[in-house]
Structure 1
Amino acid sequence: MDPLFGLEHKNILVTGASSGIGRAVAEMLANQGATVMITARNEERLEAVLQSLPNDGHHFFCADLTMDEEVKKLAAEMPLLDGIVLNAGMVKTVPVQFVKREDLDYMFNLMLHSSILLVQQLLKNKKLKPGASVCFISSVASQKITIGNAIYSAAKGALNSFTKSLALELAPKQIRVNAILPGMVQTAILDSGAVSDEQLQIHLKNYPLGRFGQPQDIAGLTVYLMADVSQWMTGSLIVLDGGYTLK
């Protein structure tokens, strides 16, 4: 394999890695040769992910990244990193008039503040190598708005702006920063009933390719962004949505 496309000898941190997109990312990066550090809140599920990874040298760290002290502890425990994939998501459709302060705080803490503060701590601890790659998992909901999604869209929109600002700030260190904006991805969050089957079938009609995404669809793009072949890409918001935003 051309070394530009490989991930051998790269240490990569994946957050939200116990299920869904995060798990698929960790598994695909490891299958391409990376040594992955995975983190999430559920220790049992993290252990299961770790056991699914090929080769040795991978590690898991149980942490709640909405807690500042746990963010600091995680950053301090990291080895030197060649890349980070920051993945945090939830589905909660709430019209603005029914939003509670605790909903607002939790959603922004989970999807925005935790990622910002983790990157900050990694930089303070000098854990990102020159030439490292940072990838945020955002959402097309930041660009294509639907009723009831105002808070989620606002948090992801802020993450997009942070991606571009951070890319400019870290460019002198040759650290590149990008975000993936997925459309609807079939994960356990959807299977949990957070969105009804009827709503999903109606929404599916908006996808020209005729299906929702799979976690592996997102994971494949993170492989490109973590590899040296993407070393001239930074500040990009990459839409990956099966054609959803074409309509």
Structure 2
Amino acid sequence: MSEDVDAEQEHPGIRPAVRETYGPSDLGHQPMFGGGFINFGYWRGIDLAGPLGEDERTRSQQALYRYVLDAAGPLRRRDVLDVGCGLGTGCALALTEYGPNTVTGMDVHPDQLARAREEQAVLLGERPGRLRFAEGAAEGMPWQEGAFDVVVSVEAAQHFPDLDGFAAETARVLRPGGTVAVTSFFAADEAPGRPGQLAGLLDTYASGLDIARPVTALAGALTAAGLTEVRTVSIGPEVWPGWDAWLSRWWAPGTWPRNFLRAYEEGVLDYFVVTATRPF
């Protein structure tokens, strides 16, 4: 039996590009994602003209998580779900800095969950019951209705195969008055040629790892699921230049990873934070 068939049986239901990237390739431990996070970073207040090291990179990733957690509203004494939690570093930040009741990290990839439990072993031991990790898909969450006060997702929605399913599940697991905050990169608008443009510029779209959709697709899905106060904010100016400056450590101008900034400057791609509320 081939290795591809073995992997398919080991992780059924996970798209092949996602299975490889977050399984054997272990994206979270690649040098560009130092600090234990897997996100492009929020670079406001970081001098991009000077040399960028691991400290600046980690600060940018922490800042992106804090931006999303702040956008979700007060977290103190609330139950928080992080969809697409990766290595669990954002869950740890939320638990140690924001005073929630519990933080649950959910990921579709069992390899990532194993890494998260290993990476956060000390915190899991120090705060039993307050931090946990569970396997689940964005469009099929393994919890009962009204299990959480807050749902967040940081740079995972570009992989979700079904935004309508994610929105419906988010609305279901949120308690009345609960909030959701999602950040990721999306096509800048609904122009029909955007998927082809993105696939031509960026290998992650060409390979199927990232799915080209406008941010209005997520906002519309949240609205259709019954959530209200849906708000979309671009934070591209605080993401793309810093991400490109960081990538310049490994890739020369004109190579495909540097095309993230190009796609933004050409109005093809942007980075957004989307928030919504489940009404009472």
TM-score, normalised by the number of residues in structure 1: 0.49
Determine which structure has greater relative contact order: mean sequence separation of CA pairs < 8 Å that are 6+ residues apart, divided by chain length: 1
More helix by percentage: 1
